[in-house]
Structure 1
């Protein structure tokens, strides 16, 4: 029987790539968007879901269960980016990105768990980020949301294992998507102490995304996880340098690793 899969944030970017790939593999795929439009342009079913509105989460999950009778996989992908010096970034924007990337993802996870417990099976894949493994300058709040989701993945995995449910994370590095368009950018304030460094880093961040990997690589990894009998807890999808950076963080003294990052970001 073909698995039923829910992919949040599937109207563009990595989410769309994952949903399209899994649909082509023969799965019953439901992608979500806050405001679905031009749905005829999507090969999979695109339905409404806003991770900030619990009723829309419940409605989407119930719609799938009522139609399919089950829900086998959640790809918890919906999220947003944020840049800015910690000192300059408005607190309300910091809270907003946590509400989306962290609490929103948890609300979707909590909504699908009762059905998966009833089935005694299911896979939850939380999409995090390489940024969640390190505090990146001018992306500290984004790093914080994804790092927090990595830890919740570990905790939830242990809590639900007895129900036959697998919980894993998959962390993408830089991918060629339109994430920059939906990212909150703290303005470059003329009187900011960080003005020049922040301006330089915005260019570096955008260049990294433009030169990033094809989202199909994320889709292939998700496909691998879905079909693994005993998947790992953490997966990382990035180039060799990105993967090596995480290894270095584990083995180098903190200040030496910090110096390497600062050199990369021209600080």
Structure 2
């Protein structure tokens, strides 16, 4: 039997690399993407292609290259993303636009590019990597939360629209895992005389500490395999520490103000 073909955006590091490595070990043909191949001259974990999820022409070229070699794409994992922190009032709007282009519009560009091919082959799986942060508005991470929350909502709609074509769509929301996301995250600067300086600085330190002490992203890869092997995937999956997953449940059952108080207490605000 021919190997199933997997395309993972943002596959050169972090969660994407872990997913690719794990799926390759399980017998899949894996293609990962990066915005710049020049930055990864010695990458040999799996096939790495140059692709920018904000550039439709770049997407088209990469997908055509895979189809010429493999004649199909069975699984798309929209993993590429960027972090952003800062007080909403003080975050430059061009940075807000940039993160929405990557985290929200990027997966849409990718999905729209592969759906016609999946429809023709009458099968396919699209997994949109969102975030537990997308289930709630987090202080000083509100923009990131908004991008992932929007991706989760539009996934619900896309899933229903393509179900008759044999295409399965779902989200996978990780909590905090040990990756290099903090390194590539845009941080609005802490302005010395800003009314947000104290609380933002304190929250930023907590965010970075959480990432540094988090678990192995192989846990995310194992859930990806579970989704691929499931005949009828759920709409949403979550993976992370029990307290992180519990936070999404509490969001749905607690009164809004009580939930807000819990968040304020957690962040010591």
TM-score normalised by L of structure 2: 0.98
Q: Which runs of 5+ in 2 are unaligned?
A: none
Question: Contact 1:11–1:36 (CA<8 Å) still a contact in 2?
Answer: no
Distance 1:263 1:146 in 2: 23
Give how far 1:75 is off.
Answer: 0.4
Aligned to 1:13: 14
TM-score normalised by L of structure 1: 0.98
Runs of 4+ that moved beyond 4 A: none
Question: Contact 1:39–1:46 (CA<8 Å) still a contact in 2?
Answer: no
Distance 2:199 2:5 in 1: 46
Aligned to 2:91: 89
Aligned to 1:175: 177
Give how far 1:104 is off.
Answer: 1.1
Measured against aligned partners, the alpha-carbon deviations of 1:110-157 in whole angstroms (never above 9, x if no partner) come to 101110010010000000000100000000000000000000110000
Measured against aligned partners, the alpha-carbon deviations of 1:201-238 in whole angstroms (never above 9, x if no partner) come to 01100011111121100000001111111111100001
Aligned to 1:111: 113
Matched length: 267
Give how far 1:52 is off.
Answer: 1.4
Distance 1:65 1:189 in 2: 49
Distance 2:61 2:41 in 1: 18
Distance 1:40 1:173 in 2: 30
Measured against aligned partners, the alpha-carbon deviations of 1:35-70 in whole angstroms (never above 9, x if no partner) come to 124354332100100011111100111111111010
Aligned to 2:255: 253
Aligned to 2:32: 31
Measured against aligned partners, the alpha-carbon deviations of 1:140-192 in whole angstroms (never above 9, x if no partner) come to 00000000000011000000000000000000000000000000000001121
- The alignment's C-alpha RMSD in Å is 0.8
Q: Which runs of 5+ in 1 are unaligned?
A: none
Aligned to 1:213: 215
